Amino acid sequence: MSSSLLITHFQIYLMAPLHTELKVDDPSLIREGEFLDIFYVNRMISVGGFGQVFDAVEGCSGENVALKVESLSASIQLLASEAHCLRSLNRAHNPQEKSSFEPFIRYFGYGVVGNVRYMAMEKCGMNVRDLKKTTEFDRFSIGTSMWILYKMIDAMKTMHTLGWLHRDVKPANFCVGAHDGRSLFVLDFGMSRCFVAPNGKIKPRKPHCSFHGTLRYVSLNIHHRQDASTWDDLWSVYYVAIENMVGQLPWRNIPDKVLVSFGSMKILTEFLLVAEYKASAKLAELEYGQETHQPHCLSILSHYLTAALQKAEEYFYCPPPYQLILSEVETDLSRRNLSLQNIILDWQHSTKKETKNSAYIGDYMYHQKTTPKKKERIEAVGDCCPEPRIHHQNYAPRGNRSVYFY
């Protein structure tokens, strides 16, 4: 892309402030070895999702929990909305307060103490990003990748059915269970939004929206500042699936010389270059592990997503064909003599050393301990999406960080 074209596009984003996650070396927001409300704080275990996460113990029950903490003076504050989202999801999906009810982990509470907000939640295991790093070639086997793909689509189906968009789908926001490596939980709802009105209908499509998400995984629709829909969450799932199978996405390594040449404009030119790479990348032609072609289930998903992107206004109010795609994933597994139940996942027989504090990587989720409300049902939107024709075929340095543009 020419520099003049970049400058033209850059003018669109010139006035947009950029917000990214906390850094690992930022000072701790709370003290270790002290109580935060009824929770005894042990130590910081991760940084991400615009907050810090601590290992803690609930003072009354003695249960080990995770505390996500956010400063009251943070430039952008997401924890209150995240707590509202997870409380709503858990009341609807897990009204009987069962422990670890996939895909949402229990929520213990939310509060404000001193100069911080906190949210207490059940701890989980390693996230998908770090599980991938433990593999020999930094990629999962095709079978494990399909298992993750199925779980992620099913999690999005559940979340969307309950009226919420995630808007920051990425490997770091999906974790296996702390004691069950065959469960997958979706995490970090700071950017999530309720897209269904009280009457059960989808809220009207906005003509222009802020950028929410992680540069590496957002759809072109989000790059163009269009209102997010259920399809955009699935675009991110699609990109994650390709990365899991291939190892890296084509736009991960944007040449440094291109970025450096634009000086102080480095961040936003990167934003635009990634969009150009996504628009032109031939993802079906990548090397998918030991297989010669892109798995059939990904080809099916790609065609539906492409059709939705080309007719964004029409598809905005239409639910994706979740069950059809899930069935295709199961069929692809069956072709390889595998199933969701019998597949041995890569991390279940890995002999490579795990990362330090692996049981605490990533952010965590939760379940509200209050009288559960009756599960609310949202009116299903008719399957109005036309069927696209299926043609069968046998370095962004900050690209993995969540970004919030006004």
Distance separating alpha carbons of residues 370 and 265, to the nearest angstrom? 49
Supply 191's token pair.
């950017």
Report whether 383 contacts 319 (CB < 8 A): yes
Based on the residue annotation, tell me whether 168 is a catalytic residue of this protein: yes
Residues pairing with 365 in the sheet = 122
Distance separating alpha carbons of residues 356 and 346, to the nearest angstrom? 18
| Block residue for tokens 């996230």 | 127
Residues contacting 166, CB < 8 A, separation 6+: 156, 159, 173, 186, 189, 191, 192, 233
What element of type H or E holds 329? helix 322-335
Q: In what order do the strands lie in the sheet with 402-405?
A: 18-20, 402-405, 211-214
* Cα-to-chain-centroid distance, residue 47: 16
Amino acid at 190: G
Residues contacting 356, CB < 8 A, separation 6+: none
Report whether 202 contacts 196 (CB < 8 A): yes
Catalytic one of 55, 130, 168, 188: 168
Report whether 392 contacts 293 (CB < 8 A): no
What element of type H or E holds 364? none
Residues pairing with 51 in the sheet = 48
* Cα-to-chain-centroid distance, residue 273: 22
Q: How far apart are the first and last CA of the chain?
A: 25
Encode 2-42 in three state secondary structure. CHHHHHHHHHHHCCCCEEECCCCCCCCCCCCCCEECCEEEE
Supply 398's token pair.
């900050």
Distance separating alpha carbons of residues 324 and 328, to the nearest angstrom? 6
Supply 102's token pair.
């996939």
Distance separating alpha carbons of residues 94 and 99, to the nearest angstrom? 9
Tell me the catalytic residues.
168
